[in-house]
Chains A and B, each alone.
Chain A
C-alpha cells in the first residue's frame, strides 16, 4: 500500500495557459503548496479572491516534519473549514516530562484552561494537515470558488514589472509564462524565489545535527512529551519522544556536529541507536528518517513590491517550540484579508507593509524563543553547559529552577503590540484581550465565541449598545452582540471590572481597538487606521 506521502494528489495536467498567445494574468499566484501556501490560498478563495497555486511537486510533504499544531492554528483552521477534521485525526496531549540521565527532574502540564473550543496542542503528521488542506481546496472548487492547484509547475524565473509580476514556469511538457497582480512566495526555507530576487536570509546556524525518525510501534508509552538531557542511550546529547496518530512516534536524537550524515542515516546505524532507547525487544518499523541542522533566520522584510513572502520562505526557526508551521499559518491569515481588501480597492497597498511589520514582529518573537531553547538544549560553551546542568540538577529538588529548564517553549499566538494598525486601547479592560492580541475564545450559549468571529470586520459588543451595521467607506462592520450576564468566562476575558466593552475585530480575529462604550466617530477612525487608510 502506498503511503499518503507517496500518492500524487494534484498531478500535472496540461493547462490552456500554456498555449495562450500572450501570458495570462491572474489576480494572485501562490508558489508552493505546503501548509502555508495552501492556507493562504484557501483563505483568499473563501473571500472570493481568484487564486492559482503552483507547486513543482504533486504530493504532500515527504515524511511527517511538523507534528505539533497549536491552538491558534486550530482556530485558524476552523475558519478555513478543516479544524474539526484535524482535531478528530490528531492526538491531544498535555503532559510533558523532562529527564536528566535516567532520572525524571520535572514534569509540566499544559493545563488546558477551561472555556476554549480547541486544545492547547494536537500532534498530527504534517502530511495529514496538508492532505486536509488539499481536500478543502477540492471542496471549494466543487462549490465554484476561484481556486486552482497546479502540480508539476516549477517556477524558474520571476520579474517584478511594477504593476504585475511575470513568471516562467517549467512543466513536464514545456515552459510557459504567466503573470500575477500579486505573487505570494510560500516556496519553503530554500525559497528559489528569494534567491532569484537576490534577497538576503540572515541569521544563525546551530552547529549541531539531529536525527529525526518517525517509527511505527505498538508500544504502551503514554501520550506525553518526553525530553531527555544526557540520556544513557545518547550520552552528552539530548533526545525527544512524542506520539503521533497511527502508532507513529517521533524521535529526535541530537548527534553533535562532527558526524557523517550519510552514514548516520543508514538504517543499520539508526536501528541500533533506537534499540538502545526503546529497549532491545521493542518492535518497530522506520517510517521516515532524516538528519537536520537547524537555523534561526529571517528576511529583513516580507514584502518586496508585488511579491509577498510567507512561511519558511520568510523565516526559519529550530523545531524546539513547534513554531515553524504554526507561525506560517499566522502569516497566511494576516496576509489574506489585507490582500483581499487591496484587490477590492478598499485599502491602499501600503496596508501590505503592515503584513511585513506585524509578521516580522512575530518571527522575531519565535526566533528569540527558539534560539534560547536551542542554546539551552545544545550549550555552545563549557560555562553554558555548567549553568544548564546547574538548572537541571536543581530542578529535581527546588521548584524555582523548573521554569529555567528550557526544552522548547511551545508556540503561543503572537499579539501585534505596537502595530501601526492598532487603534485606541483602555486599561479598564483585561490585558489578555488587549489591542493587537487575537480574540480569546469563550463559551457562548451552546457554541463558542470564535466560531462567530472572523472573515470580516466586526464590532463585538459586550453588554453595550451599537448599530447592527456600520458602513465605513465600503467596509461593512457587523455587530456581534453578547452579554456577560451568567457567563463568567466571557466577563473575565472581555470585561474584567468594567460594566461593558466594545471591541473592533479585524478579519483575522485580532483586536484592532476597544472601548468601554460605543462611539461612532472613534470606531470609524479605528477602521480607517486598521486598513491603512488614515495615511
Chain B
C-alpha cells in the first residue's frame, strides 16, 4: 500500500479547527472552490500517483 491510512497528523484537533476556520464566512460555492484548490495543492505535495489513486478510491468508496 502506498497510501498511509494510519494516523499521521500531529494535533488532529488543531488541524481540524484550521480547516474549518479556512472556510469561515464563505458561501457554499466559495467553500467548494477552496476545497478544489486545496485538493490540487495537496495532490501535488503527495506527488505519488499510486497513493493518489488509492486516496481517490477510498474517498469514492465512502460515498
Residues of A in contact with B (beta carbons under 8 Å apart):
383, 386-387, 389-391, 393-394, 398, 400-401, 404
Name which residue of chain B comes closest to A387, CB basis. B36
- Residues of A near B33 (CB, < 8 A) are 386, 389-390, 393
Q: Complex Cα distance A33/B22, Å? A: 61
Contact with A along B21-63 (1 / 0, CB 8 A): 0000000000011001101110010000000000000000000
Q: How far is the CA of A404 from the CA of B40 in the complex (A)?
A: 9
What is the chain B residue whose CB lies nearest that of A400? B44
Asked whether A391 lies within 8 Å of B32 as measured between CB atoms, the reply is no
- B55 CB to closest chain A CB (Å) equals 15
Question: Whole-angstrom distance from the CB of A389 to the nearest CB of chain B?
Answer: 7
Asked whether A390 lies within 8 Å of B44 as measured between CB atoms, the reply is no
Cross-chain contact A394 with B32 (CB below 8 angstroms): no
How many Å from the CB of B26 to the closest CB on chain A? 13
Number of interface residues of B (CB under 8 A): 8
Residues of B within 8 Å of A390, CB to CB, are: 33, 36-37, 39-40
Known: A386-B33, A394-B41. 18 other contacts (CB 8 A): A383-B32, A383-B36, A386-B32, A386-B36, A387-B39, A389-B33, A390-B33, A390-B37, A390-B39, A391-B40, A393-B33, A394-B40, A398-B41, A400-B41, A400-B44, A401-B40, A401-B44, A404-B40
Q: Which residue of A lies closest to B45 (CB)?
A: A400
Residues of A within 8 A of B44 (CB): 400-401
26 pairs, CB–CB < 8 Å, chain A vs chain B: A383-B32, A383-B36, A386-B32, A386-B33, A386-B36, A387-B36, A387-B39, A387-B40, A389-B33, A389-B36, A390-B33, A390-B36, A390-B37, A390-B39, A390-B40, A391-B40, A393-B33, A393-B37, A394-B40, A394-B41, A398-B41, A400-B41, A400-B44, A401-B40, A401-B44, A404-B40
- Min CB distance A391 to B, Å, is 6
Shortest C-beta distance, B36 to chain A (Å), equals 4
| Residue numbers in A under 8 Å from B36 (CB-CB) | 383, 386-387, 389-390
Q: How far is the CA of A112 from the CA of B32 in the complex (A)?
A: 39
B contact residues around A393 at 8 Å (CB): 33, 37
Q: Which of B32, B40, B41: most chain A Cβ within 10 A?
A: B40
Smallest distance from the beta carbon of A457 to chain B beta carbons, Å? 39
> What are the 4 A-B residue pairs with the smallest beta carbon separation, nearest first?
A390-B36, A400-B44, A390-B37, A386-B36
Q: Chain B nearest CB: distance from A305 CB in Å?
A: 42
Q: How far is the CA of A404 from the CA of B32 in the complex (A)?
A: 19
The docked-state distance in angstroms from the alpha carbon of A389 to that of B39 is 13
Q: Within the assembled complex, what's the spacing in Å between the Cα atoms of A393 and B32?
A: 14
What is the minimal beta-carbon distance from B31 to any residue of chain A, in angstroms? 10
**Smallest CB gap from A393: residue in B:** B37
**Within the assembled complex, what's the spacing in Å between the Cα atoms of A387 and B56?**
15
> Inside 8 A of A394's CB, which chain B residues have their CB?
37, 40-41
- Min Cβ gap B5→A in Å is 24
Within 8 Å CB of A386, what residues of B?
A: 32-33, 36
Complex formed: what's the CA distance from A259 to B37 in Å? 32
Contacts of A387 in B (CB 8 A): 36, 39-40
CB distance from A406 to the nearest CB of B (A): 13
CA distance A197 to B3 in the complex (A): 51
Q: Which chain B positions have C-beta within 8 A of A401?
A: 40, 44
What are the residues of chain B within 8 A of A398 when measuring CB–CB? Answer: 41
Q: With a CB–CB cut-off of 8 A, which chain B residues contact A400?
A: 41, 44
Interfacial chain B residues near A391, Cβ < 8 Å: 40
Min Cβ gap A500→B in Å is 36
Residue in chain A with minimal CB distance to B32: A386
Q: Which residue of A lies closest to B34 (CB)?
A: A390
Q: Which residues of A contact B37 (CB under 8 A)?
A: 390, 393-394
In the complex, the chain B residue whose C-beta lies closest to that of A399 is B44
Q: Residue of B at shortest CB range from A401? A: B40
B19 to chain A: closest CB distance in Å?
Answer: 17
Closest B residue to A403 by beta carbon equals: B44
A383–B37 alpha-carbon span in the complex (Å): 12
Residues of A contacting B40 with CB < 8 Å?
Answer: 387, 390-391, 394, 401, 404
* Chain B residue, CB-CB nearest to A386: B36
Which residues of chain A are within 8 angstroms of B32 by Cβ–Cβ distance? 383, 386
A400 CA / B40 CA spacing, docked (Å): 9
CB distance from B10 to the nearest CB of A (A): 24
Give min CB distance, B21 to chain A, whole Å.
Answer: 20
